[in-house]
Amino acid sequence: MDRQMKRQRMQPMVAFRALKALVANPQDTPKVFDVIRALGGPSLERGLRRFRITDFGHQVLKDDIDILDTLQNRPMLGALPNGSFGSTYYHFTQREALAAEGLVEASEVEAETFSHPHLVRYATRLRDTHDLWHTLTGYGRDELGEACLLAFTYAQTRNRGIFLIAIVGGFKLRQAMGPGVFRALVRAYRDGRQAAWLPAIHFESLLGEPITDVRTQLRIPDPVPYRTLIAAYTAT
């Protein structure tokens, strides 16, 4: 299959224009995906190679499993036990007025963007589990939480576009929140390095488990620097 995959070309000018627009409007989510795609380089192909040699990754690719089929089942998620991974995710998305398909619209990932259908499935699974990663890591959807999750995600995926957004966001946030921003980002990166490799985790099978147990299993600690900084900032 590797011979059928064309390496994604780096597009620094596309990334620069998208990043400039994102700095001006941090809520412009499509620009996030523009930067990630423009600077991703071989990270997606490298991740797919790792993904497909895992038992679950092989199953996802063979059976074309779409996690949106699970995440869009709101009655099932709402019926899960309180304190479970799935229930915590459900309440997070309810509180933030999020829909599982929201990132689909923002990213506009199309099959023709990639040179192989397995890249489509792997890329869309990464995209569609973003809010599950929020739930597991404890990083909120505030600007610092998003930057920290990007630092965590960079450690997991090595996509340079993700790294760039996290760093630029960190410098912007530091002006208002102080040097603790970079302590939180560094901690998020280190936690991403030490955690289990989330792209290949069978999240669908863990939704009914207590979230504390899932975090322990996946080696994801409480994000203390982030929580401390957010609490101090919101108290002022």
Q: Is the pLDDT of residue 213 over 70?
A: yes
**In-domain check, residue 3:** no
**In-domain check, residue 204:** yes
pLDDT tens-place string over residues 59-75: 999 999 999 999 999 99
- What pLDDT sits at residue 19? 66
Q: Is the pLDDT of residue 181 over 80?
A: yes
**In-domain check, residue 195:** yes
Q: Which residue has the higher pLDDT, 115 or 225?
A: 225
Give the separation between CA 214 and CA 151, rounded to whole angstroms: 21
Give the separation between CA 56 and CA 201, rounded to whole angstroms: 7
pLDDT band, residue 111 (cuts 50/70/90) = very low
**Are the C-beta atoms of residues 181 and 173 closer than 8 Å to each other?**
yes
**In-domain check, residue 41:** yes
Provide the 3-class DSSP secondary structure of residue 45.
helix
Q: Which residue has the higher pLDDT, 19 or 225?
A: 225
Beta bridge partners of 210: 84
Residue 208's Cβ-count burial label (10 Å; 0-12, 13-18, 19+) is middle
Weakest mean pLDDT among 13-27, 159-173, 179-193: 13-27
- What pLDDT sits at residue 17? 78
- What pLDDT sits at residue 110? 44
pLDDT tens-place string over residues 84-94: 999 999 999 99
**In-domain check, residue 1:** no
Give the amino acid at 174: R
**In-domain check, residue 203:** yes
Q: What is the mean pLDDT of residues 5-20?
A: 64
SS3 content of the chain, % helix, strand, coil (to 5): 70, 0, 30
The model carries a pTM of 0.86
**In-domain check, residue 53:** yes
**In-domain check, residue 4:** no
Beta bridge partners of 84: 210
Domain limits for position 128: 10-235
Q: Which residue has the higher pLDDT, 105 or 56?
A: 56
Q: Is the dihedral of CA 129, 12, 188, 227 positive or negative?
A: negative
- What pLDDT sits at residue 106? 47
Counting residues of the chain whose pLDDT is more than 70, the rounded percentage is 83
> What's the domain count of the chain?
1
